[in-house]
Amino acid sequence: MERPNAWKKYSAEQLDALHYLCEGYKSYISENKTERECCAAAVTMAEEAGYANLSERIASGEPLKAGDKVYAVNRGKSLMLLHMGTEPLTAGVNILGAHIDSPRLDVKQDPVEEKNELVTLDTHYYGGVKKYQWVTMPLAIHGVVAKKDGSVVNVVIGEDEADPVFCITDLLPHLGAQQMSKKASEVIEGEMLDVLVGNRPLVIEEGAEKDEDAEKSPVKAGVIAILKDTLGIEEEDLLSAELEIVPAGAARDLGLDRSMILGYGQDDRVCAYTSLIAQLDCETPARTAVCLLVDKEEIGSVGATGMTSHFFEDAMAEVLELAGETGPLALRRCLANSNMLSSDVSAGFDPTFASVFEPKNSCYLGHGLTFNKYTGSRGKGGSNDADAEYVATIRRVMDEGGVSWQTAELGKVDAGGGGTIAYILATYGMNVIDCGVPVLSMHAPWETTSKADVYEAYRGYQEFLKLA
């Protein structure tokens, strides 16, 4: 059941809409490379679209009614947007859920080290990465440093043309015979992912107070002095920092035909952005529309800002209270009667690595939004397996909306596997299916998507929010 290429159907007006959406998307992933940045940018966009802070509505006690729009933020790293519908909340809501964390390198708490007059930052990789992919490329530092006085310093270094960039060094091929004999997983080991940040020693003025640390590690002292002068932070402040090492530079058009996008963090910000825009563009729906942008999916959806936290459940309880649908039973009914699209990317068929794909159960760039009935591995382990009735409903919604869509599984049976947040929401008894954009080079520092699939994801998410 081959699905047609979406590019063949577009009118001039649709192509204009496609390019407008994709330009906004490229800007979003270029300017926001951490979950904090993605969340803050989404809040700004939501407020511009008329969304109010849920905490303020709770404080005022003002009831929620059809057409009202509110948002709730969890520790600056995850977000819920809600647009009240005309039907009771206990009839269920329509949920778009995506994650805004991406594979990266996290700076350790005590990271600064000088060896042979080279200063590096120690890192610990986050999520599933091929470590060898991160060496020798330009890198940037994004994140926050929290100081003991309660202030928080935002850090972005390496994105402006005037900024320095950073890198992880690699061994030259002339000396790399032993290295090249290793397995790919061992060519670069985790503790070798040290980010090079300095080489110039601090010059101590004659007659200045003696500083044994600076004399022992003068290049490190120079780096610390720069951090203090430019950011106002001491080395000890790094103990309470969240600094992420990410590829430097903006997302770019890919291909002579500019049909694709090459950028960092497209898993899963391509689905997060299209879900967000679909939510913001939603007219007052019949069923309440919800968009969830969450953290920690790449490491199991754990912690206070992951999908396994009670943030969503607690926020929905507050919404039900303000809507006059009170009590724990109302919350349970609301969640059990809800529908969800777990908006996460899928592995696009790559002819270079065709051996791990099963062609007729794969998704292809340019053929539209992809639905994965199940994910998981080793006999669907760890997956949410959507039921046939819900799949049929989604087919109808997409076809009636003229959305280009396809189905896929994550490679051949026993070739590998993966998971999403779908199974977590399914524990409430709601309908859930995975769907998202096909990606090439998933989890690499630079990933590839088709602009047509980005556009069809947005259109598909729009149609889903209309589901009554």
DSSP of 297-327, one letter per residue? Answer: GGGTS-STTSTTSSHHHHHHHHHHHHTT--S
In terms of Cβ atoms closer than 10 Å to its own Cβ (0-12, 13-18, 19+), residue 314 is: middle
Rounded CA-CA distance 454/448 in Å is 11
CA distances, 150 to each of 74, 108, 146, 147, 153 (Å): 18, 21, 7, 6, 10
Alpha carbon distance 170, 86 (integer Å) = 59
Q: 6-102+264-465: CATH homologous superfamily?
A: Zn peptidases (3.40.630.10)
* Owner of token pair 């009554």: 468
First to last CA, the chain: 28
Instruction: Fold for 104-247, please state it.
Output: Aminopeptidase i, Domain 2 (2.30.250)
Q: Tell me how far apart the alpha carbons of residues 22 and 28 are, in angstroms, rounded to a whole number.
A: 10
Interior/surface letters 222-256, b for 16+ CB within 10 angstroms, e for the rest: bbbeebeeeeebebebbeebbbbbbbbbebebbee
Low-confidence ranges of the chain (pLDDT < 50): none
Per-domain residue ranges for the chain?
6-102+264-465, 104-247
Position 296, amino acid: K
- Reported as type and span, the H/E element at residue 113 is strand 104-115
- One-letter identity of residue 121: L
Whole-number Å distance between alpha carbons of 20 and 24: 6
Residue with tokens 């300017």: 31
As a residue count, the chain comes to: 468
Render pLDDT for 135-192 as a digit per residue (tens, 0 to 9). Answer: 999 999 999 999 999 999 999 999 999 999 999 999 999 999 999 999 999 999 999 9
In the chain, the amino acid numbered 202 is L
Find residue 80's DSSP bridge partners.
72, 292
Position 100, amino acid: I
378's CB contacts (< 8 A; 6+ apart) are 414, 417
Rg of the chain over CA atoms, in angstroms? Answer: 24
Q: pLDDT at position 208, please? A: 65
Q: Tell which residue, 340, 320, 338, has the closest CA to residue 330.
A: 320
- Coil, helix or strand at residue 23: helix
pLDDT given for residue 382 in this prediction: 82
341: burial class by Cβ within 10 Å (0-12, 13-18, 19+)?
buried
DSSP per residue, 41-59 = HHHHHHHHTT-EEHHHHHH
Q: Counting Cβ atoms within 10 Å, is residue 174 exposed (0-12), middle (13-18) or buried (19+)?
A: exposed
pTM score: 0.96
Instruction: Give dist(CA 305, CA 303) in Å, integer.
Output: 6
Pairing of strands 260-263, 447-450: antiparallel
- CB-based contact 97:342 (threshold 8 Å): yes
